[in-house]
A and B are shown apart, each in its own frame.
Chain A
Amino acid sequence: MMKKEKVLINSFRQIALDTIEMVVENAYISQTAKPGQFLHVSVEGHMLRRPISIADINKEKNTITILFKVVGSGTAKLATLTPGMSLDVLGPNGNGFQIDDQQKSTILLIGGGIGVPPLYYLGKTLAEKNIEIISILGFQTKDYVFYEEKFSNLGRNYVVTDDGSYGEKGFVTDVVKMAGDFDSYYSCGPLPMLKAITTKLKGKPGMISLEERMGCGVGACMACVIPTKKSGGYKKICSDGPVFHAEEVSL
């Protein structure tokens, strides 16, 4: 269950162009958060909190790793913080990736840009269950690439850049074939990428994590919704998601 918590910033480093990795300490969140959940972070001088997905957890040290890309005034403000300072967050929020019945299978992780981080904690959790992991990470250019080594430690890993400045050239969908056989997939990234992936992998069991501009982040304001395929109407990304079955929502 989400709570309003203070988290202490332990470390802060730029790991790629405009991309910050922050490790924060909080006992409650580190002990309860699951892969795919997010923190709703209050930013000084800003009305709305910023949803940032959880990239890793260290339960022994009570730490949570979050990554964010500096894209606007809110994330720019977050990027001025330093270790020793604290953040006001709601967390852990949302429903994460379902990982129960995946024993003895091969899982494909497909991440794009700042959608890569939640897949790392997921991949780590799956790898601990001796599940075979294959990952495909897509970035705009060489300058934006991060976590290549971390994902390589989990299993076979492909990096692809839009302009070919690093790894394969093209989009994540272009290298799915190279990845070989897999049983199901998990994906997080920009909407056009998720559209392409779910279309290409139609019929395969998969889960996708979505992002949207959020208001409350707790399911009350109905700002971040996604149309559903079956019933008509909408699901709330912050509280019904952010992770959905690929077949459940209409991208």
Chain B
Amino acid sequence: MNNLAVNLPGLELKNPIMPASGCFAFGREYSKFYDLSKLGAVMMKAATGTERFGNPTPRVAETASGMLNAIGLQNPGVEKIIENEVPFLANYDTSIIANIAGSTLEEYEKVANAFNQTDDVHALELNISCPNVKEGGIQFGTDPGMAAKVTEAVKKASRLPVYVKLSPNVTNVVEMAKAVEAAGADGLSMINTLTGMQIHLPSKKPLIANQTGGLSGPAIKPVAIRMIYEVKQHVSIPIIGMGGVSTAEDVLEFLLAGASAVAVGTANFNNPYVCPEIIEALPETLQKYGFDSVQDAIGKGIVQA
């Protein structure tokens, strides 16, 4: 028996590890390093209704144990992604999750609907939490009413399970999670990046051209763990966890907090092999801490009140 397998709405994962959206493009670059069939799933870079060119540069800045980015949802648009990118990923034995973004409710509906054309996408990740574009969905991600509205609209437009990607840039993440669950979300993915800024001393100005950027990397892992831990106790839909994961131990920590699968983002940049390395190390890590399977560890870190 495969003790790494996890079954989630739309996703029969052979292992719980997947590259996070925006950190892996559409897989082509990393397919030069390893066989993408090793991955539980791939979360594709965000798709919008039409092509987006993104923000001016610099778009990234290194921070202590992390980095800031403000790419700005650069992507060729949903139609080209379905035409050129999905078929490439479909060559691999892995699940495909399409991340969808938009500026308006209509754009979200259009993108969600477009993915109905293909049988190769297994689930949608609804991006209502990109902090880096003026109208990139963040307005939907910080207001529970708006979040529910876009979730409902996307559920109606799509035949696929919908995982809503939550923003950590809110006061009460549980309220957001409950709102999208009530609106029909099949799962959650959390967390997106935390809004931050770095000021460049030589120029005395914000380093990133967009001024603010999304903080990712190990620096945000404790925030992610805390939020998943809180949300897990108030929803019954599964959570795909992410935020600073770079080792099998990190993955176990996310499972214990309540995640059912785990995405790896920024760590891919330093080590292109990080996902397959984690997958290989995971059985031993589970065993070391007394778990028979991934399934067995989910939510086991939660202290019952």
Give A contacts to B, CB under 8 Å: 1-2, 4, 42, 46-49, 74, 90, 212-227, 232-234, 239
Contact = CB atoms under 8 A, between A and B. Distances in A.
B29 A225 contact: no
Contact of B62 (A1, A47, A217, A232): A47
Interface stretch (B145-153, B233-241, B264-272): B264-272
Interface in B234-280: 266, 268-273
> Mostly helix, strand, loop or mixed at chain A's interface?
loop
A239 B29 contact: yes
Interface in B49-69: 51, 53-54, 57-63, 65-67, 69
A49 B268 CA distance: 11
Given A47-B266, A232-B53, A233-B51, A215 B29 contact: no
Contact of A223 (B28, B29, B60, B66): B60
B57 A216 contact: no
A221 B25 CA distance: 6
The 6 A-B residue pairs whose C-beta atoms are closest, nearest first, are A220-B25, A223-B60, A220-B29, A216-B269, A223-B59, A218-B29
B22 interface: yes
A220 B268 contact: yes
A219 B57 contact: no
A136 to B, nearest CB: 26
B60 A215 contact: yes
A124 to B, nearest CB: 29
A21 B63 CA distance: 26
22 contacts: A4-B33, A4-B271, A47-B63, A47-B66, A47-B67, A47-B269, A48-B269, A90-B272, A215-B60, A215-B269, A216-B268, A217-B269, A218-B272, A221-B23, A222-B45, A222-B71, A223-B59, A223-B69, A224-B57, A225-B74, A226-B57, A232-B53
Given A220-B25, A239-B29, A234 B60 contact: no
Contact of A42 (B22, B23, B58, B270): B270
B67 A215 contact: yes
B271 to A, nearest CB: 8
Given A220-B268, A221-B269, A225-B54, A48 B25 contact: no
Contacts of B271: 4
Contacts of B22: 221
Contact of A212 (B29, B53, B57): B57
Interface of B: 22-25, 28-30, 32-33, 45, 51, 53-54, 57-63, 65-67, 69, 71, 74, 217-218, 266, 268-273
Which residue of B23, B24, B67 has the most chain A CB atoms within 10 A of its CB atom? B67
Contacts of A90: 272
A47 B71 CA distance: 17
Contacts of B66: 47
A220 B30 contact: yes
Given A47-B66, A223-B69, A239-B29, A213 B60 contact: yes
A94 to B, nearest CB: 12
Contacts of B30: 218, 220
Contact of A1 (B24, B32, B63): B32
Contacts of B67: 47-48, 215
A234 B52 CA distance: 10
A221 B73 CA distance: 10
Contact of B58 (A2, A213, A221, A227): A213
A48 B24 CA distance: 15
Contacts of B33: 4
Given A212-B58, A220-B268, A222-B25, 4 more contacts: A47-B217, A213-B58, A215-B67, A220-B29
A47 B65 contact: yes
A232 B53 CA distance: 8
B32 A2 contact: yes
A48 B270 contact: yes
B136 to A, nearest CB: 14
